[in-house]
């Protein structure tokens, strides 16, 4: 069966993934986009700041929402909110995050801290698949640390995901304790692909056509792109072109980046995006216009 969500996904990124940026990426070839990760407990408490991030305004833009949840009761209530609250209309998929390496997330017992808790994880996934009103999947790392990776906790997670029949599993093949520049483990990713009965989405250092093709050739059904899309929404159509023809993209000019910024700004302003998103993308595109093509994290730009 044809994987229904396409091959090129835009990752949920904090302070990055607003409606304007998601739509811009969709216009340039992203097949599925994600709102930034939200705490399921905040959704249940009807926290206004959290609910204001649910900006799935346009049904033509395939949009997923990603929750952070560790308690089945909270997850059930959050899913009920998705099913009943009009703010969650126009969504395509629901995702649970077990991969965020934030120390705050891990200390609270969320994200990668759950990967070794097989019983709790299975309980969450069983409820998730049963109660989700939309197709659902999860995002994982290979473990909280290298010891968990060596014990292959990721295969226990995969077994649970297979058994409940999730619609996909996204894998960032590093541990939560690895640095952002640490290499991904393609051997572990291949092991997951070989044992999976559900589609696998590859994530991590997908920055161009060749890196995307490597994961798809390994057997991934799709790839998830994060940093490479920031300030460069063309990455999706560039990858698609490479997959079709093998052609590499032309170098973008300052004029290209200026036009992309203008497109984003118009979308953001028309939908009243939050200032943090607008300021971040404005600074990023201005850096691109000046020839700085490096990735700059939101915390560095917004707090620097």
User: What pLDDT digit, counting tens, does each position of 225-238 carry?
Assistant: 999 999 999 999 99
163: CATH: 3.20.20.70
Q: What is the mean pLDDT of residues 2-26?
A: 95
At 301, the pLDDT band (50, 70, 90 cuts) reads confident
**Whole-number Å distance between alpha carbons of 191 and 186:** 9
- Residue 290: give the domain boundaries: 257-303
**Domain end (from 204, 238, 271):** 204
CA atoms within 13 A on the CB side of 292: 9
* pTM of the full structure: 0.97
**Whole-number Å distance between alpha carbons of 211 and 238:** 12
Q: What is the DSSP string of 26-43?
A: HHTT-SBEEPPPEEHHHH
Q: Are residues 190 and 55 in the same domain?
A: yes
> Percent of the chain having pLDDT more than 70?
99
Q: What is the pLDDT of residues 152-204, one digit of tens each?
A: 999 999 999 999 999 999 999 999 999 999 999 999 999 999 999 999 999 99
The total number of structural domains that make up the chain? 2
Q: If you average pLDDT over every residue of the chain, what do you get?
A: 96
**Whole-number Å distance between alpha carbons of 233 and 237:** 8
Residue 110 located in a structural domain: yes
* pLDDT of residue 1 exceeding 60: no
**Whole-number Å distance between alpha carbons of 71 and 160:** 17
Residue 24 located in a structural domain: no
Contacts of 186 (CB under 8 A, 6+ apart): 173, 214, 218
Q: What is the pLDDT of residues 114-141, one digit of tens each?
A: 999 999 999 999 999 999 999 999 999 9
**What pLDDT is stored for residue 2 in this prediction?**
60
* pLDDT of residue 304 exceeding 80: no
**Domain end (from 186, 204, 222):** 204
Report yes or no: 142 and 188 within 8 Å, Cβ to Cβ: yes
Q: Are residues 52 and 176 in the same domain?
A: yes
**What pLDDT is stored for residue 75 in this prediction?**
98
- 11 φ, ψ (degrees, to nearest 5): -70, 150
**Whole-number Å distance between alpha carbons of 154 and 240:** 30
Q: Are residues 79 and 166 in the same domain?
A: yes
At 303, the pLDDT band (50, 70, 90 cuts) reads confident
**Domain end (from 143, 170, 204):** 204
Q: Are residues 193 and 69 in the same domain?
A: yes
> Helix, strand, or coil here: 235?
helix
Q: What is the pLDDT of residues 75-120, one digit of tens each?
A: 999 999 999 999 999 999 999 999 999 999 999 999 999 999 999 9
Residue 267 located in a structural domain: yes
């Amino acid at each position: 069966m044809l994987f229904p969500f396409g091959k090129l996904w835009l990752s949920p990124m904090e302070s990055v993934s607003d409606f304007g940026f998601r739509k811009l990426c969709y216009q340039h070839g992203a097949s599925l986009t994600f709102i930034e990760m939200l705490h399921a407990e905040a959704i249940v408490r009807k926290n206004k700041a959290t609910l204001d991030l649910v900006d799935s305004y346009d049904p033509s833009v395939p949009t997923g929402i990603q929750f952070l949840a560790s308690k089945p009761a909270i997850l059930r209530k959050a899913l009920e909110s998705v099913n009943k609250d009009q703010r969650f209309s126009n969504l395509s998929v629901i995702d649970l995050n077990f991969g965020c390496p934030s120390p705050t997330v891990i200390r609270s017992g969320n994200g990668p801290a759950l990967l070794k808790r097989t019983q709790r994880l299975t309980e969450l996934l069983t409820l998730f698949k049963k109660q989700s009103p939309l197709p659902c999947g999860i995002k994982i790392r290979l473990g909280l640390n290298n010891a968990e990776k060596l014990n292959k906790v990721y295969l226990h997670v995969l077994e649970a995901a297979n058994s409940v029949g999730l619609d996909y599993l996204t894998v960032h093949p590093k541990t939560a304790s690895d640095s952002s520049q640490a290499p991904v483990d393609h051997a572990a990713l291949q092991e997951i692909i070989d044992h999976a009965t559900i589609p696998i989405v590859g994530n991590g250092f997908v920055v161009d056509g060749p890196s995307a093709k490597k994961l798809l050739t390994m057997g991934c059904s799709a790839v998830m792109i994060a940093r490479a899309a920031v300030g460069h929404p063309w990455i999706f159509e560039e990858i698609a072109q490479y997959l079709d023809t093998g052609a590499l993209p032309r170098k973008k000019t300052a004029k290209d980046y200026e036009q992309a910024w203008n497109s984003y700004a118009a979308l953001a302003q028309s939908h009243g995006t939050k200032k943090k998103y607008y300021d971040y993308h404005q600074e990023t595109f201005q850096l691109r216009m000046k020839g700085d093509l490096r990735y700059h994290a939101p915390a560095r730009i917004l707090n620097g």
